[in-house]
Amino acid sequence: MNVKYDFSEKVALVVGGGSGMGRETSLLLASSHARVMVADFNKEAAEEVIRIINNNGGKASYVYCDIRNKESVFNCVQATVDTFGRIDYGANVVGIAGKTAGVIFHEADDKDFENVMDTNVTGHRWLMQAEISQMKKQGGEGYSIVEVASVQGLIGQIGAHQYSTSKHAILGMVKSVGAEYASQGIRVNGIAPGTTATGFVKNAFKENGWEFTNKTDRLPRGTMLEPEELAQAIVWLFSDGSSGVCASTVTVDGGMMAVK
């Protein structure tokens, strides 16, 4: 892709930056000259991402973060400031699906539901609070936060009520929080990806005993999205090119929602 950005003066925090969309977002930000803090609870995967960045002349660092733990979330924002001096962009990418095989709503256990809500909603709320507090402390404008939700935040999915509930919640939060800070130099937006060929989907295939292929008739274009395509959308939402977009959700779904 031949879209170029220059984020030389900017610092970005990518939570869930160890794999999939977060990994590609970290790489794209770094090749666009941003300094990048990669946060994830998978240390090995995230350290591989920062190795690639630093070996290619970029600037990246790693901080452990488990988004289900408030202290860990606030610590990862503080670590970004301690390392790079500030924070301009928050890519809040981390998310889990919960059980994807054989979940019947009236028999579903609470533990899985709670884990999905803790990760996809409560943790994201803390993360936005920590990022916005820091941005307010810095003052000025030009800040942007992107919440990665899902098309399942726009429609339901039989057999995945926990996931769809969590993604609807986060898009609700984007509207409220995005509107609250719209006049304060902080844009908050959501992304609703369609099926994307990452570990997230590959694991679901495995759990259901299906062989993985990126061909799909769920997306009119016939193939799943690639994580790089979501990274492009996230980074565009950081750029001045999206200055008119706030408290909104950008659907990146290969046409999926058009025919639902």
Active-site annotation, residues: 163
Contact residue for ligand NAD among 42, 75, 83, 214 (CB under 6 A): 42
In this structure, are residues 238 and 146 in contact, taking their beta carbons and an 8 Å threshold?
Answer: yes
* CA–CA distance, 161 with 153 (Å, rounded to integer): 11
Show the site string, 55-94: x = touches ligand NAD by CB under 6 A, - = not. ----------xxxx------------------------xx
Three-class DSSP category at 15:
strand
In terms of residues, how long is the chain?
A: 260
Query: In the bound complex, what is the minimum distance in angstroms from residue 8's beta carbon to ligand NAD?
Result: 26
* CA–CA distance, 199 with 97 (Å, rounded to integer): 11
Q: Interface with ligand NAD by CB under 6 A: which range of 18-26, 27-35, 137-145, 211-219?
A: 18-26
> What ranges in the chain are assigned the alpha helix state H?
20-31, 43-55, 70-84, 110-117, 123-138, 161-181, 199-207, 227-238
Q: Which lies closer to ligand NAD via its Cβ, residue 69 or residue 83?
A: 69
Residue 18 lies near ligand NAD (rule: CB under 6 A): yes
Q: Which two tokens stand for residue 111?
A: 């533990």
Cβ-proximal residues to 25 (8 Å cutoff; 6+ apart), any chain? 14, 17, 91, 93, 230, 231, 234, 235
Contact residue for ligand NAD among 10, 12, 22, 165 (CB under 6 A): 22
Q: Which lies closer to ligand NAD via its Cβ, residue 93 or residue 237?
A: 93
* CA–CA distance, 170 with 177 (Å, rounded to integer): 10
Q: Which lies closer to ligand NAD via its Cβ, residue 58 or residue 95?
A: 95
Show the site string, 178-207: x = touches ligand NAD by CB under 6 A, - = not. ---------------x-xx-xxxx------
* CA–CA distance, 197 with 213 (Å, rounded to integer): 9
Show the site string, 111-150: x = touches ligand NAD by CB under 6 A, - = not. --------x----------------------------x-x
Residue numbers at the binding site for ligand NAD (CB under 6 A): 16, 18-22, 40-42, 45, 65-68, 93-96, 119, 148, 150, 193, 195-196, 198-201, 227
